[in-house]
Amino acid sequence: MRMSRTEEALVAAVCDVAREAGRATLRFHGGPLDVERKADDSPLTAADKAAHTLIVGALRRLTPELPVLSEESDERELTERRQWSNYWLVDPLDGTKEFIKGSGEFTVNIALISGTQPVLGVVHVPVTGVTYWGRQGRGAFRADAGQAPVELHTRPADPERLVIVASRDHAGPRVEALLARLPTAKTANMGSSLKFCLIAEGKADFYPRFQPTSEWDTAAAQCVLEAAGGAVTDTGGRRLAYNKEQLINPSFLAFGDARQDWRALLEERGDG
């Protein structure tokens, strides 16, 4: 399905915003950092703040009719967002812990939420210059720096050759136990929303997540994965939803091949 010129222009503009924010984070990457602690004890750096300010300002200029909710938004916006029907949902620096360690596994995430679902998602990887984007029903794409976009498609799952992605710091005992019982599966550990993108590219199959995440951690990458042919559901099989009363996500399963019964895979091994 082809996008209108207006839609294409919006996608291109949001990708540019994400890239600009990525460049802002790189000014702090690998250098000395003052790390603050938020109320939930998660880290906050000057890079998070710089990317937040840049993205929020750019999106407000681009679409003044749409409110913006960022991980670094103030308490008023966190309360008001329940009244919003359409809005931007942003994680200006996803993978702050990886960023602090000097790793390149951090991303800039920007999603457009309509109702309870992401309809546009952009994930930018500042260190590599790679940008992923997806639009509901319009396909998913990857563009390396200076290269033409390539359309993304998930791959059929081979139960004997699964590649399972897990968080580098937050896999948790349930995922570790599952991996221990799948001797033929390969594991890819990485930070941030890159895990979803690996499945969208057809390089991995399954990302089970039982540790806490927030809506801004998943929205953009969920849209990319879904647009590439995959899905993200809770453990009951319901599509992951947004603008809930609480911003914390339930446990979820992200996968590329919907024909595989991923919940059964967990249940067979006692993880249901």
H-helix or E-strand spanning residue 55: helix 46-62
Q: Is residue 158 part of a domain?
A: no
Verify that 85 and 217 share a domain, yes or no.
Answer: no
Confirm or deny that 95 is annotated as ligand binding.
yes
Confirm or deny that 91 is annotated as ligand binding.
yes
Confirm or deny that 96 is annotated as ligand binding.
yes
Number of domains in the chain: 2
Verify that 147 and 114 share a domain, yes or no.
Answer: yes
Confirm or deny that 235 is annotated as ligand binding.
no
Global pTM reads: 0.92
Range of the domain at 264: 163-268
Of 120, 152, 184, the one marking the end of a domain is: 152
Q: Quick one: CA torsion of 153, 159, 161, 167, rounded to 10 degrees?
A: 70
The Cα–Cα gap between 105 and 136 comes to: 25
Q: Is residue 84 part of a domain?
A: yes
Verify that 11 and 138 share a domain, yes or no.
Answer: yes
When pLDDT is cut at 50, 70 and 90, the band that residue 179 belongs to is: confident
Identity at 96, one-letter amino acid code:
T
When pLDDT is cut at 50, 70 and 90, the band that residue 144 belongs to is: very high
Verify that 79 and 121 share a domain, yes or no.
Answer: yes
Confirm or deny that 154 is annotated as ligand binding.
no
Q: What is the pLDDT of residues 2-60, one digit of tens each?
A: 455 588 999 999 999 999 999 999 999 987 778 788 777 677 888 999 999 999 999 99
Confirm or deny that 34 is annotated as ligand binding.
no
Q: What is the pLDDT of residues 154-163, one digit of tens each?
A: 999 998 999 9
Verify that 146 and 181 share a domain, yes or no.
Answer: no
Strand blocks (E) in 126-173: 130-135, 139-143, 150-152, 163-167
pLDDT for 270 beyond 60: no
CATH number for position 10 = 3.30.540.10
